[in-house]
Structure 1
Amino acid sequence: MPNPNVVVVVEDDADIRSLIVAVLEPSGFVVHTAVDGADGIEVVRRTDPAVTTLDVSMPGLDGFETARRIREFSSTRILMVSARVDPAEERLARAAGADDYLTKPFRPRELRARIQALVADGGS
């Protein structure tokens, strides 16, 4: 069973990664980060998070492939984060295993609410 207060953030942009951490830690989440898909997979394997955020466009493994690989061993809830507002991309994200999809730029309050909803939904 995933750790309910643990979130993994897989994001190659340091500013966005820091923003997500700054939004989640004051809400009581323990946040682990990774800068690419391969590292993200290992962090998810090691920490068993309730939620994982995945950037879609990353060097090496993109968010879609990272989600598919995470789904092979984890039930973490996946929030895909992308700068592209494209319904087709959102469908691809869900097909790869994402539970939710959020476009950049996002409001910090919305990010926090989405993650809290995924944690609550994952516990039911």
Structure 2
Amino acid sequence: MLANSEQLVSLLDQIFARQPRDEWLKLFAQYDLPAAPINRLHELTDDPQIIENGYIVDFDHPKLGKIKIPGYPIHFSKTYAGTRSAAPEIGEHTESVLKEIGGYSEQQITQLRNEGVI
């Protein structure tokens, strides 16, 4: 570690604060200096590399319409690993779970519903 690293970082902070990030990136590119932005969260959805790599993808949500969601970072040769459907609404599968897993009849489920249990 440099003996005066804290002072150096403080000096660089002051220098970099003089111009917007994108101006520095243009300047570094002119001199072929390796540099990349540190994106803020709201900038990620428009980042070309994020989009190209599929880290954020468009998803057609049944109630919200077209939204952006995290993509799955790993790709398999034969199995799709992305989001196939929206998360269920609260209680959306209650009846089918009670029937299929719980063995409840339609009449029992109606009674539970009428009693405010479900």
Fold shared, TM-score > 0.5 on shorter chain: no
TM-score, length-scaled by structure 1: 0.24
Structure number with the higher strand fraction is: 1
Relative contact order higher in (CA < 8 Å, ≥ 6 apart):
1
TM-score, length-scaled by structure 2: 0.25
CA radius of gyration, larger in: 2
Structure number with the higher helix fraction is: 1
